[in-house]
Amino acid sequence: MRTKLSVILLAAICTLAVNTAWAQTTWYPTGLYGGNVVAVNQCSASTGAMYMASTGTGVYRSVDGGLTWSNISAQFGGRYVYCFYSFSPTFFTKATLAGTNDGLFRSDDDGLTWSAVTAIPAGTKCYSIATPGAAYIMVGTSNGIYVTGSYGYVWDHPAAPAASVYCFVTYTMSGQSTNFCGTSNGVYVSPGPYGGSWSELNDTQTSGKSVRGLVTSGSNLLAAVWNGGTGLGVYKSPLASPSWAAMNTGLGNLNVNALAQPILGSGAIAATDNGVSESTDGGASWHDYGSGLPAGAVKCLNYASGGYFCGPTNGGVYKTGAPILQPVPILPVNNATNVTVPPTLTWSYPVGVPSSYDVQYSTSPTFTSGNVLVSGVPGTATVLNGLPPSTPYYWHVRAVFGALTTGYSTSFEFTTA
């Protein structure tokens, strides 16, 4: 069943570095609509892809590509969930971590049940989770960084950075990895895969400021910088030494909540308080990348199999790539003739149960004239009364999920008897 979120929650930090190639795109709603989504991520499951989303205290799980979602909030006891991350401790097992305002939680059964990771003290805010590779996992918290090299069974707590840690990115060249993190005191860097020793990578532009997103762009870093509650936009610096400069030409809003990076090209996607923007030239210029999104802020951004996912204000979860699956017309079969009046139109929906359907029929194959809309159909069939004989008709159907709809299905034709 599609899930409507009624609660409107405060924004939280959700910044995840991601990988994909660039292409212009359109965003489509998924089955989780309404509410302010602050975290969304693809997580591995024994059954394949699983998606986890959070509106803070509302936590949801999807195992069908975001089409339908189940509410698992009770597992977190009202805790605020900032982020998710999944990994494979063995070839045959999957595990998922969730960072909350009251410690780190782990699931070993595809997100159905959760338990606290006791190595990270209760009350610790866990803002971000990332991996530099292999068995290494880093957790950014309100008390610095916790790291593990054993898939989460043993944890270390480096002395630095002594700050809240909001995001990570790893840069790898010639087999050598360097980790970077964005904190409440700018940017820190750690050589090697483990992330056990960190030092500042700041100048006056970033020192003492919050960095809520990081991506690499060639031999540079791009950072989403904030000064208290005011966004300063995106700053750029060489990886090797701090020399930060604003890169905001064309950026529609300086309150940047998350950054995402591609595999190819030199650019980034920025989730801002006014939609999503894209740069394809290393941050030198930006343009709108939010076609299809509702107006307002986007608080989280991630890449998963099949496209990007994001959380626009009061919009639930949106994704790029193919739109939500459309209904499938069944009867009358396409190009049927001598159809008895009144005809009964039937269709199916691949997965999930929409709240209703809209059926449109017309004497025009392009639906440019003579259209009739039958809205609010509760099931997968409707009767068309009053049709004249020996007349060709065309029809298609779309699914309705609250205030949102899918696209129309493939059109079928029939001719009345």
Give the dihedral sign, CA 19/21/26/29.
Answer: negative
Is 91 in the same domain as 119? yes
* Burial class (CB within 10 angstroms; exposed 0-12, middle 13-18, buried 19+) of 157: middle
pLDDT of residue 308: 84
Is 110 in the same domain as 168? yes
pLDDT in tens, 102-112: 999 999 988 89
182 with 167: CB under 8 angstroms? yes
Is 161 in the same domain as 266? yes
The phi and psi torsions of 70 (rounded to 5 degrees) equal -115, 145
- Give the residues across from 234 on adjacent strands: 224
pLDDT of residue 324: 63
Per the prediction, the chain carries an average pLDDT of 86
**Residue-wise DSSP of 169-181:** EEEEETTEEEEEE
Cis peptide before 158 (omega within 30 of 0): no
Helix (H, G, I), strand (E, B) or coil at 314: coil
Taking residues 80-107, what's their average pLDDT? 90
pLDDT for 330 beyond 60: yes
pLDDT for 88 beyond 60: yes
pLDDT for 245 beyond 50: yes
Least confidently predicted of 244-248, 263-267, 314-318, 381-385? 263-267
Least confidently predicted of 9-13, 132-136, 296-300, 370-374? 9-13
Is 299 in the same domain as 400? no
pLDDT in tens, 25-56: 678 778 787 788 999 988 876 666 678 899 98
pLDDT of residue 196: 79
Better-predicted residue by pLDDT, 193 or 102: 102
C-alpha pair distances (Å), 211 with each of 109, 169, 284:
33, 12, 19
What CATH number has the domain bearing residue 234? 2.130.10.10
* Banded model confidence at residue 10, pLDDT cuts 50, 70, 90: very low
Last residue of a domain, one of 300, 319, 338: 319
Is 146 in the same domain as 231? yes
Better-predicted residue by pLDDT, 112 or 3: 112
Is 160 in the same domain as 11? yes
pLDDT of residue 11: 28
Is 342 in the same domain as 375? yes
**Residue-wise DSSP of 224-291:** EEEETTEEEEEEEEESSS---EE--TT-S-S-EEEEE--SSSB-EEEEETTEEEEESBTTS--EE--T
Distance, in Å, from the CA atom of 359 to the CA atom of 379, rounded to the nearest integer, reads 11
- Tokens, residue 210: 């919050």
Distance, in Å, from the CA atom of 27 to the CA atom of 318, rounded to the nearest integer, reads 6
E strand or H helix at 310, and its extent? strand 307-312
pLDDT for 403 beyond 80: no
> Total structural domains in the chain?
2
pLDDT of residue 265: 62
pLDDT of residue 46: 66
pLDDT for 75 beyond 80: yes
Q: To 10 degrees, the CA torsion angle through 4, 7, 12, 15?
A: 0
Is 114 in the same domain as 214? yes
Is 198 in the same domain as 276? yes
Distance, in Å, from the CA atom of 200 to the CA atom of 186, rounded to the nearest integer, reads 8
Last residue of a domain, one of 319, 348, 373: 319
Is 275 in the same domain as 399? no
pLDDT for 2 beyond 80: no
**Domain range for 377:** 328-416
Taking residues 350-354, what's their average pLDDT? 65
Last residue of a domain, one of 281, 296, 319: 319
- Tokens, residue 40: 């969304």
Is 120 in the same domain as 258? yes
pLDDT of residue 155: 93
pLDDT for 21 beyond 50: no
* Banded model confidence at residue 351, pLDDT cuts 50, 70, 90: low
pLDDT of residue 195: 77
pLDDT for 1 beyond 70: no
pLDDT in tens, 251-304: 989 999 999 976 556 789 999 999 999 998 999 999 999 888 888 999 999 877
What CATH number has the domain bearing residue 343? 2.60.40.10
Which residues touch 127 (CB under 8 Å, ≥6 apart)? Answer: 13, 82, 83, 99, 140, 141, 142, 164, 165, 166, 167
Taking residues 140-161, what's their average pLDDT? 91
Distance, in Å, from the CA atom of 40 to the CA atom of 310, rounded to the nearest integer, reads 7
Is 362 in the same domain as 311? no
Taking residues 343-360, what's their average pLDDT? 86
pLDDT for 4 beyond 60: no
Taking residues 348-362, what's their average pLDDT? 84
pLDDT for 7 beyond 60: no
pLDDT of residue 22: 38
